[in-house]
Structure 1
Amino acid sequence: MTDTIPAPRDWAPAQGNAAELAEKYGLSVSGARPPLGEYVRQLWGRRHFIAAFSSAKLTAQYTQAKLGQVWQVATPLLNALVYFFIFGVLMNTRRGMNTETYVPFLVTGVFVFTFTQSSAMAGVRAISGNLGLVRALHFPRAALPVSFALQQLQQLLYSMLVLFVVLISCGHMPKASWLLVIPVLMLQFVFNTGLALVLARMGSKTPDLAQLLPFIMRTWLYASGVMYPLVYNLKRAHAAPWLIDVMSANPAAVYIDLMRYALMGHLKTSPLPHHVWPLAVGWALAVGIGGFVYFWKAEERYGRG
C-alpha cells in the first residue's frame, strides 16, 4: 500500500491558517523588529550587559601595551602636545592668550573633541566589527553602539582627572562653575550615543565608511576651534556673519565652548556664544533620539547577508 501525497491545492488551507496559528500561540518572525516602546524596554533590561561589555572593552583596549591603561590619558595628552607645538608655537594661533591660558584651552578642546571622535569611530564598527556576536545571540542591537559610547565616556573621565591637574597647575583653581562639567558631559554623551547609532547602521551596510570617517573627523576637528579660538579667528578673517553663526553652532564647537566656560570662565578671545545652552540641549535631543529611532528602524537587517 502506498501513501497518497496530497495535491498542492490541499496545502492551501494549512498555509492560510499559519498566520492565525502563529498569532494564537504568540509566535513571531525570528529577528523581527519589536515596537519602539518594547525595544526600549528590552534595551533597558540589558543595561547590566551594556555596562559590563563597555568596561571589558576598555580594559582589553591596551592589554598588549606595556604601559596598559596609562595610554588612556597619554594619547590625548600627546595629541595636545603636538597641537601646541604646531598651532601654539609655529603658527601662533593663540591670538593673545598666554601659555597659562592657552595650555588648558587646548587640552580641554582636545579631550572634549576626542570624546566625540572616538565615539564615532567605535560606532561605525559596532555592528560590522561584531557580526559573530550579532548572529549568535538575540539581543537589542542598539546595545553595541551604546556600550561603545559608554566606553568612551569612561575613558574621558580618566582624562578629566589629568585635565583638572593641568588647570590647577596653570593657575585655574576649582570654583563653582566646575559643577557645570556634569551636565555638559551628559549632553555630549547623549549626542555621541545618537551619532554612534547613526554610524553603526550606516557602517553595517557600507563597511568602507570606516575608512572614510577619519578624514571626515579630521575636517571636523579643524572646523571646531579645538586648537584656536574659532569665532575670534573667523572675525579676524572678515568671515560673513552667517558663516560665523553656522561654524559656532556646530555641535563639537558647542560642547567645547561649554566645557571651556565651565572650567575657565569667560575668555576675551573665546567668548561663550549666545544661546549655546539651548544649542547643546537641541543637538543632544535631535541626534540622540533621532539616531536611536534611525537605528531601530533597521533592527531586523543587522547581521544578515
Structure 2
Amino acid sequence: MKFLVDHHTVTSIINKLRSAGCVFAEEEARLLVTEGQSLDGLLQKVDMRVEGIPLEYVIGWAPFCGLRIVVERGVFVPRKRTEFLVRQAEDLGCSGDIVVDLCCGSGAIGAALAAAMGDIMLYGSDIDLIAIRCARKNVTPFGGHIFEGDLYKALPRWMKGRINILVANVPYVPTKAIELLPVEARLYEPHLALDGGEDGLNILRRVVKEAPDWLAPGGHLLIETSEMQAPRTFEIFAHSGLATKVVRDAERDATVVIGTNSGDSPPAL
C-alpha cells in the first residue's frame, strides 16, 4: 500500500532540494515522493540527492524515449540529447534488422530502438560490469543480448559484414575537459564512459576504422559527437570509405554523424 506524504513534508523536501541547488526542485520532489516506499526511505533518498548524487541513481531509473531505463550508481546516465541518435537510427532501420550498440552503457539506445522498431535482432557490448548488468535488465525484455568485451572483440564473428544498424555513443569528452563537466557527471559517473582521450575522438576512431568490415552492404554507422568535433568526425568517417553526413538538432544540442557502407556483398562464412 502506498504511503501518503502531507503537504508540509513535500514543501520541506522542495525547500531542501532548492537550497542544495536543484533547479527543478518541484519536479524532483514529485519523483522522489512517487518512488518512496516509506517516509524514512523517502527522506533517505532526499538526503542522497541533497548530497549531490544524481537523481537517476537515487530513484534507480532514467527516462529515455518514453522508457524507464534501469540505472545503477556507476553507470553512465542516458542523456536527453541522445534521443536524437535513436530517432536517426530508427528512420534508417527496418523490421528484421541486426542492430548493434557498441559501448552500450545502460543499454538505453538499444532498448529504445527495439521498442520503436519492433522485430529486430538486438545486441550490445561494453567492458564495464555495472553497465553490462544494467544493460541486460533493460534489453532482455526486448529479446536483446549483451556481450562483455572491448568494442568489436566482444561480438561473435558471424556478425561480420551483416550488421544493418550500428550505433555507438562512445566517450567523446577530451580528457582535459572532464574537469569542466557538471559536478554530478564529474564526481559520480565513470570517467571510462566520458574520457575520449586528448581530442575526445580516440574511441570513435577505433569504432569507425573497423565499421566497414562489420556493416552489411548499405548498413549504417551512427555516432553521437559534439558540434565542435563534428567536422573532424566527418573526416574520420569519410576516410574509412563510408558515405558520410552530419545531422544536428540545435534544440537538443545533439549532433550525430552517419556513415553508410557501400560494400557490394557480405563476406563468406
TM-score in terms of structure 1 length? 0.26
Structure 1 or 2, whichever has the larger Rg, is 1
Structure that is richer in helix per residue: 1
Structure with higher strand content = 2
Give TM-score, length-normalised by structure 2.
0.29
